[in-house]
Amino acid sequence: MAESLRAVRIRHAVTMGSGILVFTVCLVGFGVKFVEFIQTFMSETGGEFAITPIVNYFMATLGFFCMLVWAALNGMFFDIEAPKKTMLEIDRELDQASDYHEEDFVTPYGTPRRTRSTRREERQFHDEPQW
C-alpha cells in the first residue's frame, strides 16, 4: 500500500525535527564542555592540561566531518537499503551452499572448509549425551 503524500511529508518532518533536536542537544553539551576547557586554560595557572582535550575535540570533530563529506561525495547516502539486500543475498547463497558436501568446499591449503550443515551436525553430536 502506497503512502499518501501527506503521510510522507509528516514522516519526513518528524524525522528532520528529531534529528535537529538531537543535534542541538549534542551541540550544546559539546559547546559547554569546550568553553569550560578554554576558560580553564585561560584562567588558572597550570591550566595547560586543558590543551590536550581541546586538541582531541578538534581532531575527532575534523575526522568525523571528513568521513561525512567523503561518504556524501561517494554516494553512500543514496541507497541505504542496498547493504541489507546484499547481506540477505549472501545469507541465501550460504544457505544454498550448505546443502552440498563438505568436500565441495576446500580452502586454499587443501583442507575442507566447514559449512553450516557440518557445524549444525557437530553441535547436534556434542548436544547428545555421552553415555
Q: What confidence score (pLDDT) does residue 109 get?
A: 64
Per-residue pLDDT of the chain (131 residues), as tens digits, is 567 888 888 988 998 999 899 999 998 998 898 888 888 888 867 777 778 888 888 899 899 999 999 988 988 878 778 888 888 898 888 887 766 555 555 555 655 555 555 555 555 555 555 55
The C-alpha cell 565441495 sits at: 104
Q: How far is CA 86 from CA 41, 79, 90, 92, in A?
A: 50, 12, 6, 10
Q: What confidence score (pLDDT) does residue 22 get?
A: 93
Paired residues of 106 in beta bridges: 112
Q: What confidence score (pLDDT) does residue 20 get?
A: 94
Measured CA to CA, the distance from residue 24 to residue 72 in angstroms comes to 21
Q: How far is CA 66 from CA 35, 69, 113, 122, in A?
A: 23, 5, 40, 47
Q: What confidence score (pLDDT) does residue 99 get?
A: 61
